[in-house]
A and B are shown apart, each in its own frame.
Chain A
């Protein structure tokens, strides 16, 4: 790539950022809301910028592009990428936070803001968020899960299963209409999903047709016969499944609690959607925090050897020999006490919960860099003896430059593979830690908290199974997609697995 186009890429990126920021600020000013930048939000933005920057940088570099193209050629890799992107989309919507203005009725006076921090996703899901019941209700139920004593207007009392406030409230006679209504909504939902799919696919096909310089028909034929380099039909198929689910959710969710409600009557579907961000943040930010340690220390140990190597090795063997959960529990509990003693530091509950999430990422990052560090040390040990590094030494190139130009780019495939592989492990780790009680803040939505909440109810009769199911389904899909994607990435990037 010529330096000109590199500069162009950077300008494009900056322009995009400014535009997005401007749009965001404008929207906030228009609605009179006050933007809130949480710690994890900021890091998520940094990550997004870094990824977009990398894509722009890699676009014209063949050696970076080629392995990615191989990832896209794998059908499973592509399908799982689409699923992951759907998750990321929801997670990003949930990462733009603000506080709405409260009308104090005092005109021009500085506005007061609500104590509740909302995200864009919350706005989208307002019907779900606000349709809370009294307590448990099963998926698609019209009546409460527990009997209640109801007082009739005539003064008589009865213990019955009362109607839900929101679930199936539009039905006059739930007994008779319930099944038919759900079926009808399923049909409508499917149709809506199909329409959304067509609306999404049209621009995609148009873009492909333009790129291939073909007419629409030919391009469509090419896509569906699998004649193109990248199996686009897999993308279309995965999108179809996702759109179908979206359509169903759009039609069903406003009228029913698709995954039921929890103990305090909150919609479980809403909780599961909100948990996506927590899972993604843990999975990605942890690696972001661990990378500098692992890369810097690993490469230095392998490249400089001698006492540097000794110090770093002692450091990570020591750290490795302390049980990870113990370290995490100790750190989280200390943090918890500190935060409880300094409530003045946090404007809102959400900010407090977020800081705890952030520190959980930091702690997980600090305890998990050793594995990658060890691998990078080994690779750097090998690379420092490679001819091109020797040649650079013979030219008198400085150490920093040798590491930056020769060693680091040639270990990045290991970094990438291990980051992608670690992701699913971290999502699961969050669930386990929250279940144990040393994970994220109890007020924060996360799959671990969802499971923790459902734990006791598993023992009652009749069983409350839906919280667990919802957490399981959402987590399973994410982790499965991440694992399949990681496989594709490893196959493409690992030189030993790469076919010539």
Chain B
């Protein structure tokens, strides 16, 4: 067997914190061969990024010296190299791309200068050769008109373009190993598909190895050859992709799969991993996953499991696979079914007609209006009692603006928002303030949605106080207790501050807060996209249970198709401020008509990629809502565009019962 490109042995990294030593990477070993793609998979806080930074020796300040073990690159131990020699390795033999393309590029240098820096340093190029190589690189990462782009600044590029530039910088040193730290997490699905496709293509051209760090099982399934699952600083399972997806072995891996929402699980609650990732400052006794594991028994809490081989090329850190110890029979645990007969009265709760939100752009000395951002540009929606309408689209398409303008947090420019027959856009002042108790919002970021200086109890009671409901002080406190229990928290939590809770718990508090005023409609603005898979499942379960119990209606804003398939009754797909297709979830996900919807669905990485999906590759970036293209907004990117698409915007057509499309293909 050939020598691996990178061999990591017992890598341990620790931070000295006030609470004690935090071992963020704890005795991990793995190998990456040439040309191979290896994934580190895990939830946030598991030490994936720290592993990568330890390999590159790029740890923040004080932890610089706190690495032990071996990192062998072609047999040479990187941890023993002096810093000067290490600088020749970085960017040259190992390159890295980061999650956030917006902050990884220097905003005051042109793209060309930033790539040239690497070429000068590691390749010694200059003059015409340098210029030629720069253009070559940009062309290689699929950036059109490379010569012009070289002179542009990062702010002139879109997110996807920036990530391509980052990849070009990484490729400039012709590395043997590319470390990609969540390279597509900040990007939209269609752009993610482009970037992942590009990475694959480059890999086959250059033969470099890729260490991919991700939390997304879909990305793993599409991209990699081998997987290592990390939990609390340790690798708990290693396997080839096919084996791993066919049968994950560690209970944690199994649960990760079960917690993924999808169409088939609609009739039941998702299987969840209770709790959250433990802090790494403690000294662990026994298996780190034991407190959250559904199959744990006494031994798991007492003794730490060893690395055990489990079939060809795979190994796992779990007592279940240790033949020398007896383990108890698996206790069957069926997922809780959901009563789908909660069905609706069919009565329409919310009706949005031709809603428009335009933001004026003011320029010049006198602040004259020089144009508009057409954030929401004529949207019709309707939502029935007790149902969920999912609003799907890429970032910047106006989903959040639409949500906020329905709630009158942003006043619409035109159109009607009929809530139980009353037009909210006409309400003013006190009348609107009173009405607000009926419609509420849950935000995406659980960290910024609560005032850090208020206690949880006060946060939850705020709405009741403002609306003057919930009786006197004592009754309100009792109601707060009840709400906390309803969302799975304890009454004593009301005396704590938000920073004492994890992301999932905070989202629960936010839900409790909205429930306090007994709303009929809740706008959920990507409530789970900042959360890990296991925690996402907890929140989705909670939302569904509450919907059943309280007959809530959700307007669910998301970009995550799997969540849509699990949760939604109806789906509306937005593109550039307009709804291009809407209908029942089965119809949209199964028989999408609009080319954009199809491309969007095709771009989502599949976890079980048994059937090779046909790629409808979407080129380019979404256009700016300041200057939407004439005719159908989608035509510049549409593979099926014809002459008429360039001229006029298509009318809404019904293609099946309740299934509407705005596309000339169906007129």
Task: Point out residues on A near B: beta carbons under 8 Å.
Answer: 62-64, 386-388, 390-398, 401, 405-406, 409-410
Binary A-proximity of B455-468 (CB < 8 A = 1, otherwise 0): 00000001100110
Q: Is the CB of B440 within 8 A of A405?
A: no
* Pair B440/A394 contact, Cβ less than 8 Å: yes
Separation of A406 and B448 alpha carbons in the complex (Å):
12
**CB-CB contacts of B562-604 with A at 8 A, as 1s and 0s?**
0000000000000000000000000000000000000000000
Docked pose: A388 CA to B452 CA in angstroms: 9
With A63-B497, A396-B433, A396-B437 as known contacts, state yes or no: A388 contacts B466, CB within 8 Å: no
- B513 and A391 form a contact (CB under 8 A): yes
Chain A residue nearest to B442 (CB atoms) is A391
A397 and B466 contact, Cβ closer than 8 Å, known pairs A386-B448, A405-B451: yes
* Complex Cα spacing A398 to B430, Å: 10
B476 to chain A, nearest CB (A): 13
Give the chain A neighbours of B407 by CB distance below 8 A. 394
- Having A396-B434, A409-B451, one finds 20 other A-B pairs with CB under 8 Å, namely A63-B452, A64-B453, A386-B448, A387-B445, A387-B448, A388-B448, A390-B404, A390-B409, A391-B443, A391-B450, A392-B466, A393-B409, A394-B441, A395-B440, A396-B432, A396-B467, A397-B463, A398-B433, A405-B462, A409-B453
Can you sample 11 A-B contacts with CB below 8 Å? A387-B449, A388-B448, A388-B450, A391-B441, A391-B450, A391-B510, A396-B435, A396-B437, A405-B454, A406-B451, A409-B453
Q: What is the CA–CA distance of A139 and B91 in the complex, to the nearest angstrom? A: 68
CB distance from A279 to the nearest CB of B (A): 33
* B255 adjacent to chain A (CB < 8 Å): no
User: What is the chain B residue whose CB lies nearest that of A410?
Assistant: B453
Q: Are A392 and B462 in contact (CB under 8 A)?
A: yes
Q: How far is the CA of A218 from the CA of B513 in the complex (A)?
A: 49
CB closest chain-B residue, reference A392 = B462
B635 to chain A, nearest CB (A): 34
Rounded to whole angstroms, the CA-CA distance of A396 and B441 in the bound complex is 12
**What residues on A are CB-neighbors of B435 within 8 Å?**
396
CB nearest to A408 among chain B residues:
B453
Bound form: Cα–Cα A409–B497 in Å: 14
Bound complex: CA A494 to CA B466 (Å): 31
Q: Does B436 interact with chain A (Cβ within 8 Å)?
A: yes
In the bound complex, how far is the Cα of B467 from the Cα of A388, in angstroms? 17
Q: Interface digits, B383-412 against A, CB 8 Å rule (1 contact, 0 not)? A: 000000000000000000000100101000
Partner of B451, one of A393, A395, A396, A410: A410
Q: Which residues of B contact A396 (CB under 8 A)?
A: 432-437, 463, 466-467
State in angstroms the CA–CA spacing of A398 and B407 once bound together.
16
Expressed in whole angstroms, the Cα–Cα distance for A401 and B461 within the complex equals 14
Output the nearest chain A residue to B453 by Cβ-Cβ distance: A409
- Count of chain B residues near A, Cβ 8 A: 30
**Given the complex, which residues of B lie within 8 Å of A395, measured CB to CB?**
436-437, 440, 462-463, 466-467, 517
Question: In the assembled complex, which residues on chain B have CB atoms less than 8 Å from the CB atom of A401?
Answer: 466
Distance of A404 from chain B, by nearest CB (Å): 12
How far apart sit A253 and B432, CA to CA, in the bound complex (Å)?
73
Q: Which residue of chain A has the shortest Cβ distance to B435 in the bound complex? A: A396
Task: Assess the A397–B448 pair: CB atoms within 8 A.
Answer: no
A-side contacts of B462, CB under 8 Å: 392, 395, 397, 405
Q: How far is the CA of A395 from the CA of B462 in the complex (A)?
A: 8
Q: In this complex, what residue of A is CB-closest to B525?
A: A387
Residues of B within 8 A of A392 (CB): 462, 466
Report A-chain residues with C-beta under 8 Å of the C-beta of B433. 396, 398
Does the CB pair B451–A390 fall under 8 Å? no
Please, which residues of chain A bring their CB within 8 A of the CB of B437? Answer: 395-396
Alpha-carbon gap, A397 to B459, bound state (A): 12
* Least CB distance, A397 to chain B, in whole angstroms: 4
Q: Restricting to B499-521, which residues have a CB under 8 Å from any CB of A?
A: 499, 510, 513, 517
- State in angstroms the CA–CA spacing of A391 and B403 once bound together: 13
Closest beta carbon of chain B to A239's beta carbon, Å:
27
A393 vs B411: C-alpha distance when bound (angstroms): 13
Residues of B within 8 A of A388 (CB): 448-451
Contact (Cβ within 8 A) B450 A394: no
Residues of A within 8 A of B450 (CB): 388, 391
Residues from chain B with Cβ under 8 Å of A398 in the complex: 433, 466
Taken together as a complex, chains A and B put the C-alpha atoms of A395 and B450 apart, in Å, by: 13
Q: How far is the CB of B503 from chain A (nearest CB, A)?
A: 14
Q: Which residue of A lies closest to B499 (CB)?
A: A63
Please pick, from A391, A393, A397, A410, the residue contacting B452 in the complex, using a CB distance under 8 A: A410
Closest A residue to B446 by CB, please name it.
Answer: A387
CB-based closest 6 A-B pairs: A387-B449, A396-B436, A395-B463, A396-B433, A397-B466, A387-B443
Q: Which residues of A contact B440 (CB under 8 A)?
A: 394-395
Instruction: Output the least CB separation between A320 and chain B (Å).
Output: 20
Closest A residue, CB atoms, query B444:
A387
Residues in B neighbouring A386, C-beta threshold 8 A: 448
In the complex, A392 Cα to B409 Cα: how many Å?
Answer: 10
A406 CA to B453 CA, complexed, in Å: 8
Nearest CB of A to B208, in Å: 34
Which of chain A's residues has its CB closest to B439's CB? Answer: A394
Q: Considering the chains assembled together, what is the distance between the CA atoms of A405 and B450 in angstroms?
A: 12
A230 to B311, CA, bound (A): 56
Given known contacts A410-B451, A410-B452, A410-B453, is B441 in contact with A390 (CB within 8 Å)?
yes
CA A410 to CA B452, docked complex, whole Å: 8
Distance between B424 CB and nearest chain A CB, rounded to angstroms: 12
- CB contacts (< 8 Å) of B513 on chain A: these are 391
How far, in angstroms, from A386 to B447 measured CA to CA in the complex?
Answer: 11
User: B445 contacts which chain A residues (CB < 8 A)?
Assistant: 387
Interfacial chain B residues near A406, Cβ < 8 Å: 451
Distance, CA A406 to CA B432, complexed state (A) = 21
Query: Which residues of chain B come closer than 8 Å to A62, judged between CB atoms?
Result: 497
Distance (Å) between the CB of B463 and the closest chain A CB? 4
For B497, the chain A residues whose CB sits under 8 A away are 62-63
Q: Which residue of B lies closest to A402 (CB)?
A: B466
Residue of B nearest to A395 (CB): B463
| Complexed CA–CA distance, A397 and B404 (Å) | 16
Residue of B at shortest CB range from A409?
B453
Contacts of B463 in A (CB 8 A): 395-397
- Report B-chain residues with C-beta under 8 Å of the C-beta of A410: 451-453
Known interface pairs A396-B434, A396-B436, A396-B437; A391-B449 also in contact (CB < 8 Å): yes
- Are A390's CB and B436's CB within 8 A? no
Q: Chain B's nearest CB lies how many Å from the CB of A408?
A: 10
Distance in angstroms between the alpha carbons of A393 and B409 in the assembled complex:
7
Whole-angstrom distance between the Cβ of B507 and the nearest chain A Cβ = 12
Report the bound CA distance from A391 to B443 in whole Å.
Answer: 8
Q: How far is the CB of B518 from chain A (nearest CB, A)?
A: 12
Instruction: Give chain B residues whose Cβ lies under 8 Å from the Cβ of A409.
Output: 451, 453
Give the docked Cα–Cα distance between A188 and B462 (Å): 64
A394 adjacent to B436 (CB under 8 Å): yes
Which residues of B lie under 8 Å from residue A64 when comparing CB positions?
Answer: 453
CA distance A62 to B407 in the complex (A): 34
For the complex formed, measure the closest distance between the CB of B223 and the CB atoms of chain A, giving whole angstroms: 32
A164 → B minimal CB distance (Å) = 59
CB distance from A497 to the nearest CB of B (A): 15
Question: For B443, what are the chain A residues with a Cβ–Cβ distance below 8 Å?
Answer: 387, 390-391
**A231 → chain B closest CB, angstroms:** 15
CA distance in complex: A392, B454 (Å): 13
Q: Whole-angstrom distance between the alpha carbons of A82 and B240 in the complex?
A: 64
B residues less than 8 Å from A405 (CB atoms): 451, 454, 462
CB distance from B575 to the nearest CB of A (A): 25
Among A63, A386, A390, A395, chain B packs the most CB atoms within 10 A around the CB of A395
Most chain A CB atoms below 10 A, which of B451, B466, B467, B517:
B451
- From B459, which residue of chain A is reached at the shortest CB distance? A388
Q: Which residues of B contact A394 (CB under 8 A)?
A: 407, 409, 436, 439-441
Residue picked from B434, B435, B466, B497, most chain A C-beta under 10 Å: B466
**Nearest Cβ in chain A — how far from B466, in angstroms?**
4
Which residues on the B side are within 8 Å of A390 (C-beta)? 404, 409, 441, 443
Find chain A residues with CB under 8 A from B448 CB. 386-388
- Give min CB distance, A380 to chain B, whole Å: 14
